[in-house]
Structure 1
Amino acid sequence: MTRTHAPLHGLRILSLALNLPGPAALMRCRRMGATCVKIEPPGGDPMGHYNPGAYAELHEGVKVLQADLKTETGRDAVHRELAKADVLLTSFRPSALRKLGLAWKELHSRYPGLSQVAIVGAPGARAEEPGHDLTYLADNGLVPGLELPATLYADMSGSLMASEAVLQAALRKHERYGGSGDPHPEGLYLEVALSDAAGYLALPRRWGLTQASGSVGGAHAGYRLYPCRDGRVAVAALEPHFAAALCEAAGVPGSDGSTMFASGTHAAVAAFFAAKTRAELDALATEKDLPLHTMANAQERAAGK
């Protein structure tokens, strides 16, 4: 992203947020042109210990300082940075911020132009409840079996919402009230709840789209996962022209709306894929312009194939 098209160029963010959602939001903001400073405890961010590679990518271009916020010296270091910041990014419980003297009322009084984006687990009064990505997903029906989710959906979607909130704060910074030309409007307090982020991701399921009876939940034969001879294939032939191309390739007569939901169509498409190798299906996708993606099976993935 060039500086000309960087929407956060000129914005200075101070982050106190550890682990994943806060640093992921900070990474996006830096890529949008913000100047990013992060203060970590003397022991560093836990992610720097349990996944140094992820930590390095998340903090590329971020100025990282260390300070013990429980000491007067550490709090002084925070306030030196706050005096230069446009946005403060946090991921503490509200009670912890109060203990550190960083509650919004106190911050707003001392730094009226500063905005705060506070990442919490759940909104409002529930912000003190313990929780994590997995519990927020489970609460929203996004953990249907005993397998762990493929990624940290609530944390990552929460980071996107937090970066949206920073964009909102940046817009506020550049507002002009009533044509007065005031370049220093008051800052905003914006709370981002990871449980809300999980709830947003869960909307398609609540609407029935990804339930077993939904078109993208398995009921449509052209939008499913199938085994093939040497792995698996994800096929997304949902639109009529894609469904028609799939049916033609699989030798299924007809491809109208009802055909794709018929048990016979499911069986025929499954048999077609089961007889093909991944290489054959990749070639078919190119030849027939089909939206499909082949994958190794679990054993091959474990072996690194």
Structure 2
Amino acid sequence: MTQPAVTQAGGPLTGLRVLDLTRVLAGPTCTQMLGDLGAEIIKIERPEAGDDTRGFAPPVWPGTTESAYFLGVNRNKQSVTLDIAKPEGQAIIHKLLASCDILVENFKVGALAKYGLGWEQLHAQYPALIYCSITGFGQTGPYAPRPGYDALIQAMGGVMSLTGEPNGPPQKVGVPVADLFAGLYGCIGVLAAVNHRHATGQGQQVDIGMLDTHVAWLANQGMNYLATGENPPRLGNQHPNISPYQEFPTKDGYIILAVGNDPTFLRFCQTVGREDIAADERFATNATRVANRDLVTATLTPVMQTRTTTEWVGILEAAKIGCGPINRLSDVFEDPHVMARECVVEMEHASGTRVQVIANPVRLSATPPTYRSAPPVLGQHTDVVLTGLGLSEAEIAGLRAQGVV
């Protein structure tokens, strides 16, 4: 089921105003989350060019000139075109900052300082301002000046060494997880800083490095290395600490089987009519199964090939054994649970076309995310925002003639 857009204001962050100096994915992910939770987001974009992702096409959403990529992370934002390299543009930024609570940026380290918009400069003028910087490598350290890209961070952060078939090349994850995690950690940091400001009245800088966040979500694999000093091997779809926890071929495709503990493995063997497998000492415990993972795979593969994926899902789910099909995206968006959870939202775009976006997954019982405005066309709100700052039509026209907006 597609969820209709919620147009009324509301949310736990209502009343907060965010100056959004971000582009591409990590920064816009952070600010969209803040916007979904009620904050007002003023997105600053380069005149004529805009956010880089406006040009990340195809695909373009039918009936618009907007890339699907841009639409994915820019709802609940006002687009203002502004050249911050010009003094007149910087003056407008300062007018906006007078009423903003949060600034989020993902420029290279030190780039905004050239325009008088660095953290130290602004903190002195606006001590209550929360200033979130999202960069490839953070504000300090030997790599700080380097640009950060998702694939580069996946490579340097280790996840590519863990992903792929044992005898194949390293693989990146199929979606830009390094960007996404950095944006979400940035949002968490901003929310913590907001709480601190409530208590003290003071702003602070939130320093997010994509490589830092990438290392943080190495999770069990990172801990496995720290505990052993050994580099974990690539295991394809197998789990480094649990077996069986992987894909198996079925009669007509594949299924993911996730057996998390010994009682579940016994129940699985009983369900498939192979109690003899559970009785084998090589399979008796998770530790022995992990030690004999190749044998586990070889033993269970012919068993799983006796039925179709749908048949196995029905049988195993009834026995409360973790399993599921390997869905294509067409299957995902037609899945009855995904539809029941209203994971897609339809919004009225400025082009006059209704566009669909993926819903915010945070479910709050009292103050749920709202979908107040579709991702904007370039500069859609420039005149409205500048008029709100007290500029006249003639002044705005003059700025436009100079290429400032």
Question: For residues 257 and 288 of structure 2, what CA distance do their matches in structure 1 show?
Answer: 16
Structure 2 residue 289 is the aligned partner of structure 1 residue 260 = yes
Q: Which has the higher contact order (CA 8 A, sep 6+)?
A: 2
Unmatched tracts of structure 1, length 5 or more: 177-184
Question: For residues 268 and 171 of structure 2, what CA distance do their matches in structure 1 show?
Answer: 31
Which sits farther off after the overlay, 81-90 or 261-270? 261-270
Structure 2 residue 33 is the aligned partner of structure 1 residue 28 = yes
Do the aligned residues in 1 keep the contact of 2:9 with 2:38 (CA within 8 Å)?
Answer: no
Normalised by the size of structure 1, how large is the TM-score? 0.85
Which sits farther off after the overlay, 22-31 or 205-214? 205-214
Deviations 1:262-298 (CA, angstroms, capped at 9, x unpaired): 354332212212332111122123322221111269x
Structure 2 residue 127 is the aligned partner of structure 1 residue 112 = yes
User: Counterpart in 1 of 2:15?
Assistant: 10
Deviations 1:38-82 (CA, angstroms, capped at 9, x unpaired): 111111111122152232232211111110111122222222211
User: Counterpart in 2 of 1:233?
Assistant: 255
User: CA RMSD of the aligned region, Å?
Assistant: 2.9
> Any idea what SS the aligned residue of 1:154 has?
helix
Of the three residues 103, 110, 114, the one matched with 1:95 is: 110
Q: Give the aligned residue type for 1:237.
A: V
> Any idea what SS the aligned residue of 2:321 has?
coil
Structure 2 residue 316 is the aligned partner of structure 1 residue 285 = yes
User: Counterpart in 2 of 1:189?
Assistant: 205
Which sits farther off after the overlay, 44-53 or 189-198? 44-53
Shift of 1:97: 1.2
Of the three residues 133, 137, 146, the one matched with 1:129 is: 146
Which sits farther off after the overlay, 256-265 or 189-198? 256-265
Shift of 1:122: 0.6
Question: How does 1:79-228 map onto structure 2 within 5 Å?
Answer: 79-123=94-138, 124-125=140-141, 126-144=143-161, 145-176=169-200, 185-208=201-224, 211-212=232-233, 217-218=239-240, 220-228=242-250
> Any idea what SS the aligned residue of 1:25 has?
helix
Shift of 1:7: 3.5
Shift of 1:243: 1.6
User: Counterpart in 2 of 1:271?
Assistant: 302
Question: For residues 24 and 90 of structure 1, what CA distance do their matches in structure 2 show?
Answer: 12
User: Counterpart in 2 of 1:182?
Assistant: none
User: Counterpart in 1 of 2:50?
Assistant: 44
Distance change in 2, residues 1:112/1:219 (3 Å): closer
Shift of 1:167: 0.2
Question: For residues 79 and 271 of structure 2, what CA distance do their matches in structure 1 show?
Answer: 56
Q: Give the aligned residue type for 1:273.
A: M
Do the aligned residues in 1 keep the contact of 2:104 with 2:133 (CA within 8 Å)?
Answer: yes
Shift of 1:4: 11
Question: For residues 259 and 95 of structure 1, what CA distance do their matches in structure 2 show?
Answer: 53
> Any idea what SS the aligned residue of 2:144 has?
helix
Q: Give the aligned residue type for 1:73.
A: E
Do the aligned residues in 2 keep the contact of 1:143 with 1:149 (CA within 8 Å)?
Answer: yes
> Any idea what SS the aligned residue of 1:74 has?
helix
Distance change in 2, residues 1:296/1:32 (3 Å): closer
Question: How does 1:235-254 map onto structure 2 within 5 Å?
Answer: 235-250=257-272, 251=274, 252-254=277-279
Do the aligned residues in 1 keep the contact of 2:148 with 2:210 (CA within 8 Å)?
Answer: no
Structure with higher helix content: 1
